[in-house]
Amino acid sequence: VELRARTDFHLLTPICGADGSQLRQYLTVGGDERTSGVVDANLDIGRAGARIGSAGERGGLRDLGEVMAGSPAGSTPLTEAVSTVVQLIEPAAQSLRMAGQRVVVVLSTDGMPDDPASFLSVMQKLQALPVRCVVRLCTASADLLDYWNLLEQQLGDFEMEVIEDGKAWQVHRHNSWVTYGQPLQAVHELGLSHPLIDRLADRRLTPSEIHQLCELLFGCQLPDPHLDSFAFVEALERELLSAPHVFSPVKLKAVPWVNLEELGRFLSPKCLERMLSAWSLDSIVKCLA
């Protein structure tokens, strides 16, 4: 909303309010406010004038809050939901490609499609469009995770990512020095992509990649750890003093973005030894003072 980026919310089934009344199933928030909130209104996106229709009315945060406060009911008609999205994007596909733009489609679900065969077919139609797809699983079911991962494989080179709640643990397994906080999770959930963030859950980052990621996180220039790893850690420590803590899904509490001791281990034994010596000396000085 703050970025004034258009976001269309498509609920799988109509939501019922507390009084039993049926609320809106489709809602468009943000974007070009010059357009009216009429069903199927064309909304401008992008410099090239690509126009994507809207399935529902325009609304604000209050409208969205009312809809999200309702209770879902019924089955999981994902095929119909994705088919609606395909029909809205198809007319604008060529304009989007000419502008070098894509639509991010986020599927948030705790189940699997009512009809997996027809769902695969409609996902293949979505695959043919300039789209990046994110599947946000709201469940810990291993069977459902297996289904969505298999679907990802069946779609081949489709730019699709399946996200579940275990992402933080995957990152911790490979890069325990960094806290996988909500902002990093949001990058994935919003369909954004950055090579360094994408690699966190796949493998251990190299010192050069750690350097680049820290500069990205803190928005500053830091010494090159290849030239002086201790100077890099010292500069990073100063940045951490003014940076707010972030909640860690692994430790279940707010912690700094970077665990400096773990980082020292990642960089080199010599760097860690120098860090521990400096911290010990600092503690002695404070005690004497």
42, pLDDT greater than 50:
no
pLDDT digits (tens, 9 = 90+) for 219-266: 999 999 999 888 999 999 999 999 999 999 999 999 999 999 899 888
Inter-axis angle of helices 260-267 and 207-218, nearest 10: 150
Q: In this predicted structure, what is the pLDDT of residue 253? A: 94
If one counts every other C-beta atom within 10 angstroms of the C-beta of residue 168, the result is 21
> Are 208 and 142 in a shared domain?
no
33, pLDDT greater than 60:
no
> Are 4 and 93 in a shared domain?
yes
> Are 18 and 149 in a shared domain?
yes
pLDDT (mean) for 259-285: 72
Answer for the pair 175, 206: CB distance below 8 angstroms, yes or no: no
Q: In what order do the strands lie in the sheet with 131-137?
A: 103-109, 131-137, 160-163
On whether residue 160 sits in a domain, the answer given is yes
pLDDT digits (tens, 9 = 90+) for 143-168: 988 999 999 999 988 888 888 877 89
> Are 147 and 279 in a shared domain?
no
> Are 18 and 141 in a shared domain?
yes
> Are 84 and 223 in a shared domain?
no
Answer for the pair 43, 32: CB distance below 8 angstroms, yes or no: yes
> Are 123 and 227 in a shared domain?
no
Answer for the pair 160, 135: CB distance below 8 angstroms, yes or no: yes
- For 256, the domain range is 204-288
Q: In this predicted structure, what is the pLDDT of residue 167? A: 85
On whether residue 64 sits in a domain, the answer given is no
Cα–Cα distance measured from residue 114 to residue 232, given in angstroms and rounded to the nearest whole number: 53
> Are 21 and 160 in a shared domain?
yes
According to DSSP, the residues that pair with 107 across neighbouring strands are 135
> Are 18 and 108 in a shared domain?
yes
Any idea which residue has 């810990």 for tokens? Answer: 140
On whether residue 191 sits in a domain, the answer given is no
Residue 12: band (very low, low, confident or very high) from pLDDT cuts 50, 70, 90: confident
Residue 208: band (very low, low, confident or very high) from pLDDT cuts 50, 70, 90: very high
Inter-axis angle of helices 116-127 and 78-89, nearest 10: 20
Residue 15: band (very low, low, confident or very high) from pLDDT cuts 50, 70, 90: confident
CA within 13 Å, CB half, 220? 12
47, pLDDT greater than 50:
no
Greater confidence, 252 or 45?
252
User: How high does pLDDT run on average in the chain?
Assistant: 82
> Are 213 and 102 in a shared domain?
no
Range from 63-72, 77-86, 154-163 that averages highest in pLDDT: 77-86
Answer for the pair 210, 197: CB distance below 8 angstroms, yes or no: no
Dihedral angle sign, alpha carbons of residues 279, 281, 287, 289: negative
Coil/strand/helix, residue 63: helix
Q: For the ranges 6-20, 101-115, 151-165, 210-224, which has the lowest average pLDDT? A: 6-20
Residue type, 143: D
pLDDT (mean) for 57-61: 80
On whether residue 33 sits in a domain, the answer given is no
Cα–Cα distance measured from residue 106 to residue 189, given in angstroms and rounded to the nearest whole number: 7
Answer for the pair 197, 187: CB distance below 8 angstroms, yes or no: yes
How many structural domains is the chain composed of? 2
**Which of residues 132, 164, 196 is at a domain's end?**
164
On whether residue 172 sits in a domain, the answer given is no
> Are 8 and 126 in a shared domain?
yes
Backbone angles phi and psi of 51, in degrees to 5: -120, 125
Q: In this predicted structure, what is the pLDDT of residue 38? A: 35
272, pLDDT greater than 50:
yes
On whether residue 100 sits in a domain, the answer given is yes
> Are 240 and 147 in a shared domain?
no
On whether residue 50 sits in a domain, the answer given is no
**Which of residues 110, 139, 164 is at a domain's end?**
164
On whether residue 247 sits in a domain, the answer given is yes
Cα–Cα distance measured from residue 146 to residue 58, given in angstroms and rounded to the nearest whole number: 36
